[in-house]
Amino acid sequence: MSEKDASVRVLLNSLISTGCTVDITLYNIVIDGYAKSGYIEEALGLFRGVMESGVAPNVATFNSLIYGYCKTQNIAEARKVLDAIKSYGLVQNFINFFINH
């Protein structure tokens, strides 16, 4: 992981530890950055942290994970994430449609 990516995680952890409210938009920015950089394990770890914190993911969260899995050529896991969208009560969007077909 690059120094820049590690710094982002340190900043996010600092916000959380000081009691700042961190919403899904901020989490999505970091998850998306990890996914686009090819750090799918870090993206997935942060996603798990989001779930543990009680913050609800949205379609953008899943799109980033799908992208990350596709980038690392793990299509089977990308498809599992795609299938999980419905279990969270979310509706697939335009991006999901093209991944699915």
Please name which of 94, 16, 7 lies closest in space to residue 66, comparing C-alpha atoms.
Answer: 94
pLDDT tens figures, 61-88:
999 999 999 999 999 999 999 889 888 8
What is the pTM for the complete model shown?
A: 0.83
Q: Which residue has the tokens 């997935």?
A: 44
Which residues make Cβ contacts (< 8 Å) with residue 42, sequence separation at least 6? 1, 5, 9, 34
pLDDT tens figures, 2-51:
666 567 778 877 877 888 888 999 999 999 999 999 999 999 999 999 99
| Tokens matching residue 91 | 């509706």
Whether 38 and 5 have beta carbons less than 8 Å apart is answered as no
- Domain ranges for the chain: 3-91
